[in-house]
C-alpha cells in the first residue's frame, strides 16, 4: 500500500496528458493575441468576501474556504472574473478603455468528481471592459467560435440567452433582486415547475406566470424568429423587450459578420453566476451534457467592487473539457515537435555529442541525448519508443572526418552527412 495517495478530486497530468493540456492552452494564448488581449496573472488565493460577493449560491457552497495564519477568511479562486474585476476597481481603474484582459490557470470548486467535473480544473478567461455596445458581446462569441475551430472541435454550438429577459419580467412584477436569484437558480438547474411555483409564491401575477410558461417552451436556431416571438409574448414588460432587442442586435452582428459557429437561442436560459446583466451563453457539444465554456455581460460588478461604472463582457473556456471533447469526437491532438535523438557511440565522443546537441537546440530543434551509456541499437530502440524523428549517431571515425550518421527513424534510412550541413539536412527530410 503506497504511503501517500492523491487528494480526492485532484489529478496528476502525466506527460501525454500534460502535453494535451498545454496544446489547448497554447491555442487560447494564440486566440488572445489574435484578438488583442493582454495577459494578467492574479493570485489563486483571494478574500472570501470578494469571491462570494456576486458569484451565486451554487459556487459559494462549493468553495475551498479557510482562515490563513493571520486569521483572514480566504478561499481558492473558483473563477477568474472576480479577481479581474477587483483589478479594474483598483490598479487598472484609470487605464484607457476598452481593456481586453486574458488569464489562464487553475480554479477550484468542490464539485462531486465525475466525467468532466473536477475539483481542480483549468480555464482560459477573456474579459473586455469599457464597452456596453453589442460588438463587444459579438467579439467574445467570435473568439470562442474561433478557438473551438482552431482546436478542431468538430461539432459544437453556442447556446445564447439574455438575463434581462427574465429579470425584466420579474422586476416589472416587483420581485426583489435577491428573490429573482432564487427563481433563476431553479431555472439554471432546469427545474421549470419549481421556478414557476417560486415565482407564484413571490407574487408574480397570473399574466406573468403564463408569459413565463410560454417563454419556457421556446428555443431554436432561427434566432430572429425566437426573439420576435419573445417580444410578442413579453410585450407588457418593457425591460424584457429591450433585453430581447439588445440580443437581436448582437445576433445581427454575429450573422452579418459571418462569425461562424451554429447557435441556439434560448430565452429561458439562466446561468448560476449572479453578476450577469445582459447576454449570456455556453458552448456545447453533442457528445457531452456539460458545457465547454460559458460567459456573458456583467455591467455592474466593477462598480460594486468600488470602481468606476464599467460595462464588461467575458467568457471562460474549460480547458479540461475541451480536451475531453476532442477525444470524444476523435479529434487529433497535433503535438508537433521534431525530436532529434543524439547517440554517442563511446565516451571519447561525448564532448562532440554535447556540442552537436547545443548547436541543434540553437537552431530550434528539440534534442534528446543518450545518457545511459547504452549500445547504439538499444539507444535507437529507445529513440523510436519516444517517437523521435531522427537519430544522429556520433562515432570517433565520423568525428575525425567532420561527419555524423543521420538516421531517419520513420524510413529507417541512414547516411553520412557533413556536420556543417546537419541542421539543413534535418530541415530537408
Ligand atoms: P462558468 O460557467 O462557471 O463561468 O465556467 C466556465 C467553464 O469552466 C465551464 O463551461 C466549464 O467548461 C469549466 N468548468 C467549470 N466548472 C468546472 C469543473 N468543476 N470541472 C471542469 N471544468 C469546469 C465562469 O467561470 C465565469 N467566470 C465565466 C465568465 C467570464 N463570465 C464572464 N467572464
Is the beta carbon of 296 within 6 A of some atom in ligand 1?
A: yes
Distance CA 264, CA 280 (A): 12
- Report phi then psi at 152, rounded to 5: 85, 25
Tell whether ligand 1 has an atom less than 6 A from the beta carbon of residue 276.
no
Q: With contact defined as beta carbons under 8 Å apart, do 53 and 82 qualify? A: yes
Cα-to-centroid distance, 366 and ligand 1 (Å):
35
Burial letters 167-199, b for 16+ CB under 10 A, else e = bbbbbbbebeeebbbbbbbbbbeeeeeebbebb
Q: Residue 57: what pLDDT?
A: 84
CB of residue 125 inside a 6 A radius of ligand 1: yes
Report pLDDT for 332.
63
Note the pLDDT of residue 425: 82
Nearest protein CA to atom 4 of ligand 1, as residue: 294
Q: Show the CA angle centred on residue 256, arms to residues 250 and 260, nearest 5°.
A: 85
Q: Which three three-digit cell numbers place residue 324?
A: 475531453
Q: Residue 260's pLDDT is what?
A: 81
What separation in angstroms does the CA of 355 have from each of 45, 358, 395, 399? 45, 5, 14, 12
For residue 256, report the distance from its CA to the centre of ligand 1, in Å. 28
Helix, strand, or coil (residue 402) = coil
Residue entry with cell 447557435: 263
Residue 343 CB contacts under 8 Å (≥ 6 apart), including other chains = 353, 369, 370, 376, 379, 380, 383, 391, 392, 393, 394
Look at the pTM and tell me if it is higher than 0.85: yes
The pLDDT averaged over each successive group of 10 residues in the chain (429 residues) is 90 92 96 97 97 88 96 98 98 97 98 93 98 98 96 94 97 95 93 95 96 94 96 96 98 90 95 94 96 98 96 98 93 70 95 92 90 95 93 94 94 92 76
User: What's residue 407's pLDDT?
Assistant: 95
Beta bridge partners of 65: 75
List the one residue out of 78, 81, 83, 127 whose CA is nearest residue 107. 78
How far apart are alpha carbons 141 and 118 in whole angstroms? 25
109 CB less than 6 Å from ligand 1?
A: yes
Amino acid at each position: 500500500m503506497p504511503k501517500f495517495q492523491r487528494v480526492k478530486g485532484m489529478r496528476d497530468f502525466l506527460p501525454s496528458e500534460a502535453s494535451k493540456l498545454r496544446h489547448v492552452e497554447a491555442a487560447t494564448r494564440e486566440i488572445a493575441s489574435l484578438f488583442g488581449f493582454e495577459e494578467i496573472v492574479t493570485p489563486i488565493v483571494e478574500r472570501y468576501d470578494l469571491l462570494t460577493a456576486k458569484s451565486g449560491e451554487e459556487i459559494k457552497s462549493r468553495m475551498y474556504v479557510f482562515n490563513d495564519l493571520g486569521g483572514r477568511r480566504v478561499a481558492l479562486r473558483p473563477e477568474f472574473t472576480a479577481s479581474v474585476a477587483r483589478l479594474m476597481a483598483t490598479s487598472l481603474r484609470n487605464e484607457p478603455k476598452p481593456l481586453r484582459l486574458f488569464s489562464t490557470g487553475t480554479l477550484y470548486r468542490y464539485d462531486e468528481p465525475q466525467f468532466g467535473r473536477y475539483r481542480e480544473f483549468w480555464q482560459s478567461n477573456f474579459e473586455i471592459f469599457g464597452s456596453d455596445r453589442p460588438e463587444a458581446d459579438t467579439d467574445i462569441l467570435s473568439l470562442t467560435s474561433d478557438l473551438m475551430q482552431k482546436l478542431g472541435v468538430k461539432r459544437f454550438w453556442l447556446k445564447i440567452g439574455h438575463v434581462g429577459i427574465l429579470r425584466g419580467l420579474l422586476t416589472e412584477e416587483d420581485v426583489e433582486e435577491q428573490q429573482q436569484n432564487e427563481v433563476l437558480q431553479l431555472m439554471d438547474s432546469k427545474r421549470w415547475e419549481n421556478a414557476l411555483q417560486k415565482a407564484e409564491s413571490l407574487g408574480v401575477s397570473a399574466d406573468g406566470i403564463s408569459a413565463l410558461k410560454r417563454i419556457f417552451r421556446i428555443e431554436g436556431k432561427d434566432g430572429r424568429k425566437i426573439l420576435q416571438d419573445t417580444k410578442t409574448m413579453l410585450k407588457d414588460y418593457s425591460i424584457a423587450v429591450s433585453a430581447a432587442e439588445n440580443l437581436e442586435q448582437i445576433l445581427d452582428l454575429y450573422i452579418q459578420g459571418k462569425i461562424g459557429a451554429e447557435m441556439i437561442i434560448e430565452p429561458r436560459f439562466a446561468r448560476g453566476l449572479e453578476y450577469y446583466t445582459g447576454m449570456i451563453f455556453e458552448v456545447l457539444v453533442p457528445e457531452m451534457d456539460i458545457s465547454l465554456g460559458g460567459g456573458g455581460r456583467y455591467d455592474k460588478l466593477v462598480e460594486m467592487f468600488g470602481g468606476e461604472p464599467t460595462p464588461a463582457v467575458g467568457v471562460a473556456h474549460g480547458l479540461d473539457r475541451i480536451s475531453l471533447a476532442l477525444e470524444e469526437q476523435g479529434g487529433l491532438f497535433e503535438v508537433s515537435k521534431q525530436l532529434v535523438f543524439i547517440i554517442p557511440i563511446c565516451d571519447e565522443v561525448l564532448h562532440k555529442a554535447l556540442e552537436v546537441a547545443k548547436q541543434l537546440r540553437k537552431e530550434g530543434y528539440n534534442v534528446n541525448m543518450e545518457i545511459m551509456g547504452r549500445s547504439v541499437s538499444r539507444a535507437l530502440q529507445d529513440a523510436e519508443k519516444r517517437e523521435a524523428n531522427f537519430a544522429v549517431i556520433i562515432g570517433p571515425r565520423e568525428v575525425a572526418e567532420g561527419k555524423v550518421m543521420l538516421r531517419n527513424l520513420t524510413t529507417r534510412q541512414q547516411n553520412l552527412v557533413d556536420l556543417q550541413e546537419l541542421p539543413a539536412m534535418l530541415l530537408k527530410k
